[in-house]
Structure 1
Amino acid sequence: MAAVTAQALPARFGVPLALLALVLLALLLWQQRPQRTAPQLQQAVLLARPVSLGAFQLQDHQGLPVQPATLQGRWHLLSYGYTYCPDVCPLTLAKLANLQQQLASEAEFSQLDLLFYSIDPKRDSAVELAQYLQYFAADIRGLRPDPQVAALAKPFEQALSLRFNVQNDGIAPDSADYLVAHGIMLYLLNPDARLQAVFLPTTRPGVTVPEFDVDVLQADYLAIRRYLAAK
């Protein structure tokens, strides 16, 4: 029987074999590619999988309804508290306003909208929120449970694991003289209206109120955006 040489192979076998070799080579190179590591963050935790905020409905400081679709298409940084807060909330909002101003000078990822969610809707009406927030930045959007469908704020609060407690023991039911204890964190929402990262405050020696450093916030935010944009 005559030996079959490579030249004697039908041409129709040559192209598939060549393609198979290229595919195998591509797979090998892909497996050997350098693995990108998560960014080194100082006051933030980047979630490996963004978290849905559920089917919520809130009300903003203009009395307009806010749903997941309302927040889609833009990046948001959300803080929470209440307008009667004596220290943490105004300090945090002032720093967030400064952060937004600093980002405005950045060549990339400068768009970041600010949100403030009230956990005290009894006192924080839409009007109260609007008046309060204007002292920090004109474009901070205030949010609160929608009084018409208050239960629809629960998915939002639970998804973010908001921690707060109304301290009104011994106070008359109709009194507005009470405090609200709450946690101190910031939440980065991506353009899909999902939780992308959480920012944690630090406590400096001699300072009792946990706080955020504007420069650290900016560095962490930009690191997150650059990392996600390169994925």
Structure 2
Amino acid sequence: MNNQNPGNPKPSGPQFGLDNEKDWSKVTKGWINKYGSSIILPIIALLILAGGIYLYSNQKGQKAILTLDKDLNQEKTANLNQEEQIDDIKGLIELTENNNQNNETVIQEIIPESRKETGMIIEKANLGEGITHLARKALKNYLQDNPQELTNEHKIYIEDYLKDKTGSNPLEIGEEVSFSEDLIKEAIDASLQLTPNQLKNLEQYSALVAW
């Protein structure tokens, strides 16, 4: 009778699987030992480097995007400020124009333009104006409807003639003075009778007037 140990049964037949696994493990281990430092480590290093480059590029891209957003926001704010300044300037211009129009209206209401009534030219005094100033304006209005060749010396004589016939009392702002068109024609005719020497003497006065 054969003695057998039932606790340690030995497999019967060939053991191909176990032998192949052991051989493959040895081959792999040997290949790693032989080529690990020359192939695997550089690959790992390349992977690490690639990961670092990716992270750096990603962070740089995000930073560029944030910078671009910041620049766009600043530009938008600057544009808004510019638009507000333009609106303020437009408002100031409109306000100034309105004020000017209002001032012109007030001046025209206080001191209206010359007017004519039945052979009379009526002038109103402005600040600092006297009879001579109004006579000058009346003559100018008369000549618009009755053109005539007159020198500045003739005009000086005519306005002085009108002043002497009308009076030389001081005038208040807005005070009216009426000049007869017949009187103005009379003054013109008288000025045309002046001699060359008389006109020469009037040059010193005509030079003082801004015609």
Q: TM-score range by the shorter chain?
A: under 0.3
Q: Which has the larger radius of gyration?
A: 2
Q: Which has the higher helix share?
A: 2
Query: Higher strand fraction: Structure 1 or Structure 2?
Result: 1
State TM-score, norm by structure 1. Answer: 0.25
